[in-house]
A and B are shown apart, each in its own frame.
Chain A
Amino acid sequence: MRLTSAEAVETAIDHARTITGVIDIVAVSSHDSSASLRWANNTLTTNGYGWSNSLALVAYVAKEGRVATAKLYEVDQAFDAASVRALVERAVALAKESEPAKRFYTLPGDITFGDWEAAPFLTDLTLIGNVTPSLGEVLSQGARENRNHSGYAEHGRVSSWTGSLSGIRIREDNEDGRVEMTSRSNDGVRSAWEGVHSRTFIDLDIRSMGASLERQLAWQNNRRELSPGRYRTILPPGAVGDLLATFDSNLVGRRAVEGSGPFARPNGVTMIGERIAGERSYNLFSDPHFPGMEESPFVVNTHDGSASSVFDTGQPLPRVDWVHNGVLNALCTSRTVAVETGLAFTPNVGNLILDVPGGYGTLDDVIARTESGLLVNCLWYIRDLDEASMIVTGTTRDGVYEVRDGEVIGAVNNFRFNESPLSVLSRIHDAGTSVLCQTRENAEHVSDYLMPTLVIDEFNMSSISEAL
C-alpha cells in the first residue's frame, strides 16, 4: 500500500529503530511538482506537467567507538512500507561498511517546524493555464509586427518532510516560478530579453513584459559599433545576480584556509576581516526570515561536502552577513570544517541579498541619473578564468545600449567580458534599490536573489562578439 510522504519518513525511522547499531537516521521525503510552457517563433512549442516523490536517507551507525554514515536517495514510484524498509536496510548496511567520520555530533531532538500532517502543496495546470490567453495575445502581436517571440514559463512547488530518530520533524513548503521572454526582429538584427521571477504566479503581467520588449527593440533602431575597452556599465538586477552567483559559490571556508579561491591568504589564513569593497561600501547577507524569501530556519543536509555535513541537520539556520560594511565577515563551513579550520560554524542559507547603502531607485531611475555609460541587459555563458582573483569570462546578450545624459540613445554591439565579480563590487559608482531579480544564465539554479541595479566603473569589455 502506498505511503504518504509523512508516513514514508515515519516508516523509515520506525524501521531504523529496530536495527542493531543504528544511532540515528534522517529521512527526507519530498513531493515535487512543476508545470511549464515553452514557446518560439510566436507559437507554443513544448509543455510539461510532472510530479515526483523522493526519499533521501542518511544512516548513522556506531562503529569503532565513532559514527559512520551512508547516504541514499530514491526518486521512485509509490513508496510502500516494504520498499522504504529495504532502502533503510541498504543505507544501514552501507554505513556499517563505511569508514567512521573523524568528527561526529549527535543530532538534536524535539525540533518541529511546519504542519507535518498537511497534504502536499502541488502546482496545477490552472496556474500555468492563466498565462496562455495573454501570452497568445503577445505572440500574435509579435507575428503582426515582424517580431519573433521565444520564451519559457514554469511554476513549481516542493513539499518536504524531514524526520529523525532523535526527534526532528521539519515540514517545509516552497513554490517558485518565472517567465522569460526573448523578442527578436525578423531580420535577426535586434534582440531583447525580459525575465520576471514570481513565487506565486498570480502577480504576472505578460502584456507588460511584451511592452518592455517593444521598448528595448525600439532602443535598438539606432545602432553603432563600439570597440572593446573599459566602460562605465549599468547592470540590471538580473545581470548583477548572475555575477553574484559566482561570488556566492566562492564563499567556502575550507577552500580559503587551504589556500584556494579568492578569499585565501598564505599559510592557512583567510581574508575574513579585510575590506574587500572599494570607496562605495556594500552588504551581502543571507537570511531565512527575510520577508518574501523565507525558508526553513533549520539546516537539512543529505550529503557531505566542503561546506556541509550530515551531522549538521537540525542546527538553526541564522542570518549570515557574508560582507558587512564592505568587510568580508564570514565564509561557509560545516561544524566539522569549523573545528578543523578555526572558522566559525556558518551553514549555507539559500537566499542572497546585496544591499548598497545609499542606493535607490529602479533601473530607469539609475539610467536617468547616469551621464555616460553602457547598459547591459544580460550576461551569458559565465565561466571561471582565474580562481585566485575570481576572474570570469562571458558575453553580453540581448541588448547592449549607450546611455548619455540620462537617456538610452541607441544600441551597440555585443562584447565578451573578462571581469572579476569581486573586483566589480569594488568599483560601484551608483546603485539602485535591491529587488527580487530574475537571473539569466543561472535561472534554474538561483531563485531568491535580491539585487540592485549597479553602475560599475571600468567594466572590461575585452573583445567584440558579433552575435546578435
Chain B
Amino acid sequence: MANVSLNPDFLALPLELAAESALETAILLGSSWAEFRVSVNRSSFVQTHDTDIDSTLSGADTSLGVRVLVNGVWGFASDPSISPEGARRAARTAVALAKVAAPATTRKVELGTIGPAVIDTWIAPVEIDPFDVNPIEIGTLLLERANIVLGNGAEHVDSYFWALKDTRFYADTHGNRHTQQRIFSTSELSGTRPDRDGDPVSLRTLAQPVARGWEWMIGNHYGWEREIAELGGLLLQKSNSPLITPGNYDLIIDPTQLWLTIHESIGHATELDRVLGYEANYAGTTFVQVSDLNKLQYGTKLLNVTADRNAPYGLATVAFDDEGVPTHSFPLINEGQLVGLQADRGSAHLAGLETTGCAYAQSAEFVPIQRMPNISMQPSADGRSREEMIADVEDGLLVIGDESWSIDMQRKNFQFTGQQFWRIRNGELDGMVRNAAYQSTTPKFWGSLTEVGGPETYVFHGALNCGKGQPGQSAPVGHGAPAARFNQINVINTTEAEGAGA
C-alpha cells in the first residue's frame, strides 16, 4: 500500500517566502543566528462511554516561530499568520524580546558547530491517513470493541482513539531547509467492574501509542482482536483477586510496563540539560553528572541501552531535529556503564560534547529544548522467553502494563503500579493480585537486574505525552524493552499506607 504523502495544505503555504522574510529581518536587526519554523498539527479525537460515542473533536493548529540570537541572547516569538508579513512581525518581536532579556542574561549563548546545510524532505511511513477516516467510522469500531468487553464482564467501558499529524518546516541562516511529517495513533479501552466489596476495579488494553496510521487499528500490526477478547475475563479475574501482601519479591517485568520505568529512570536521568541544571525549577535535575560518563555503573552488566531518532516507526524518529541537526543513534549504557548523554546544540557546547540531535519543540509556537529520543533497552541476543524466565522464579510477581508512576526530581526514588500483577510461585503463575506497586531507587533497581529476555520478548512503542519545559511542552518518545527480571524489589500495597515503607 502507498504511503501517506505530504499534507497538500501545508505545501500550499508560502513557506520559503515567509522563511526568507523572517531570516532577512532577523539579520538586518542584528541577529547572528536565526531559525524559522512553521508547524501544522492536526488532531482527531473520538471517545466512547459504554454503548455511546461520548465525544468527537477534530482540529488543527497552525503557527510560525522565529528564534534569534542577538549579542548572545535568545529571543523567540510566534505568530499565527503564515505569510511574509507574519514572519517579519515575529522576527521583529523576537529581536525585541532578546533586547528585553539582555539585562538579566549574564552568560552569552554559544552554539556548537553543525555540519553542512541540507535541503531535504522526510515523511514517516504510514499506510492509511487517520485523517481520511470518518470519525463516525472510528467511533463505530470503538463501540464494537467496547460491546465485546461489556459482554465479557465489564460493567462500564471507556475507550478512545486519538490521531495526530505533525507537519513542520524548518529554515535557518545556515541554509538548512527541512520539511518533515509524522503521524501518530493511540487507542485505549478500559473496563470497570466492582469487586466483592463494591469498590471499582479497572483494567485497560496494553497497546501504547505508535508512529503508524489507521492501519494499526484495523490491520495486523497489533493483536487487538485477542486483547479485546481477553480483557473482560482478565478484569473479572482481577476483581476477584486478593490484595498484594507487601514485601520483597523477584519481579518479571513485561515490556508493556518496563518501558515506562526505562523512560523515567534512564531516559530523563540522562538528559544533559537536566544534568546542567536547566530544568531545576520544573522537571528537576538528575543524580547523573557529566563526570559520570564512562565511569558510572548504572546497573548490572546485563543492562544495555541505546538512544536514537531514526528507528523505523519510533515515536521520536525524524530525519532532522528542531535545530536542523541530522539525527542518528548512539549508546547510552553499555554493559551497565553510562557512556552517553542526550544533548542539543546549546547544552552540548556547555558540556564540551557533541549534539546528539535531541532538540525538539512541540510546535512552532514553542522554543526548542533538549528532549528525549527513542530510548530502548536491548534484549539479550540469546535470551529466553518470558515463560522460561517465569519458570525460574520461586516466589515473585509478573508485572504487565503500565498504570501509575511517580519519581523524584533527581530521578532516584520511584514508585510504579501496573495493569496486571500475577503471583509467581515455584515457577508458575498462581493468579492475579491487586493494589500493588513496586518502589525502589534507580541505582538499586537497575543493580537488581539479573536476567534480560530474548528478542522475542522485545516490544517497541512509547508515549505521546512526555512533559518538560516551561511553558510546558509535550513530546512523543519511543521505547523498546524486553522482558526482564529484577530480584528482591520492594512491593507495597497501595491501599495500606502503613505498609508502604522502603
Contact B409 A391 (CB under 8 A): no
Bound state CA distance, A386 and B403, in angstroms?
11
Q: Is A184 an interface residue (CB 8 A)?
A: yes
A residues 452-468 near B (Cβ < 8 Å) are: 460, 462-468
B441 located at the interface, meaning its Cβ lies under 8 Å from any Cβ of chain A in the complex:
yes
A interface, size bucket: 35 or more
**Structural contact, A78 and B277, CB atoms closer than 8 A:** no
- Knowing A40-B277, A46-B76, A73-B57, the reply to whether A385 touches B437 (Cβ < 8 A) is yes
Interface majority SS (helix, strand, loop, mixed), chain B: mixed
CB distance from B495 to the nearest CB of A (A): 5
Q: Are B53 and A182 in contact (CB under 8 A)?
A: no
A47 interfacial by beta-carbon distance below 8 Å = yes
B281→A51 contact, CB < 8 A: no
Task: Verify if B80 is at the interface (C-beta below 8 Å from A).
Answer: yes
Evaluate contact between B97 and A381: CB separation under 8 angstroms.
Answer: no
Q: Closest CB of chain B to A71's CB: distance in Å?
A: 5
Q: Is the CB of B80 within 8 A of A76?
A: yes
Q: How far is the CB of B67 from chain A (nearest CB, A)?
A: 9
Let me know if A200 is at the binding interface, CB within 8 A. Answer: no
| B437 cross-chain contacts in A, Cβ below 8 A | 385, 393
Name B49's contact: one of A44, A139, A306 (CB within 8 Å). Answer: A306
Closest-CB distance, A162 to chain B (whole angstroms)? 17
CB-based contact B104/A37 at 8 Å? yes
Q: When A42-B106, A78-B81, A418-B500 are in contact, do A261 and B200 touch as well, CB less than 8 Å?
A: yes
Q: Closest CB of chain A to B8's CB: distance in Å?
A: 15
List residues of chain B with CB within 8 A of the CB of A74.
Answer: 59-62
Please count the residue pairs between chain A and chain B whose beta carbons lie under 8 angstroms apart in the complex. Answer: 283
Known interface pairs A41-B276, A184-B280. Does A77 touch B406 (Cβ–Cβ under 8 Å)? no
Assess whether B329 is interfacial by the CB under 8 Å rule: no
Given contacts A389-B495, A467-B412, contact A38 B470 (CB under 8 A): yes
Q: With A139-B104, A306-B54, A388-B200 in contact, do A467 and B278 touch (Cβ < 8 Å)?
A: no
Known contacts being A41-B107, A140-B106, A467-B410, is A48 close to B367, with CB within 8 Å? yes
| A126: nearest chain-B partner, CB-CB | B100
A44 to B78, CA, bound (A): 19
Q: Is A115 an interface residue (CB 8 A)?
A: no
Whether A387 sits at the interface, judged by CB under 8 Å, is yes
Check A40–B470 contact: CB distance below 8 A. Answer: no
Contact for B76 among A49, A70, A151, CB less than 8 A = A49
Q: A410 CA to B382 CA in the complex, in Å?
A: 54
Complex contact B281–A77 (CB within 8 A): no
Task: Give the residues from 485 to 502 in chain B that come closer than 8 angstroms, CB to CB, to chain A.
Answer: 492, 494-495, 497-498, 500-502
B106 and A463 form a contact (CB under 8 A): no
Chain A residues near B277 (CB-CB < 8 A): 40-41, 148, 150, 184
Q: Can you report 13 A-B residue pairs in the complex whose CB atoms are below 8 A from each other?
A: A39-B104, A46-B369, A50-B65, A74-B60, A152-B281, A154-B471, A182-B280, A260-B202, A264-B198, A303-B55, A414-B408, A418-B492, A468-B410
The 3 closest A-B pairs by CB, nearest first: A463-B502, A462-B500, A467-B410
Q: What is B's interface to A at a CB cutoff of 8 Å?
A: 47, 49, 52-63, 65, 73-83, 86, 93-94, 96-98, 100-101, 103-107, 134-136, 155-156, 192, 194, 198-200, 202, 276-282, 284-285, 287, 365-367, 369, 404-413, 415, 417, 435, 437, 439, 441, 470-472, 492, 494-495, 497-498, 500-502
Given contacts A52-B80, A258-B156, could you give 12 more A-B pairs where the C-beta distance is less than 8 Å?
Answer: A41-B107, A74-B62, A136-B106, A152-B281, A264-B198, A305-B55, A386-B435, A393-B404, A393-B437, A418-B494, A462-B439, A467-B413
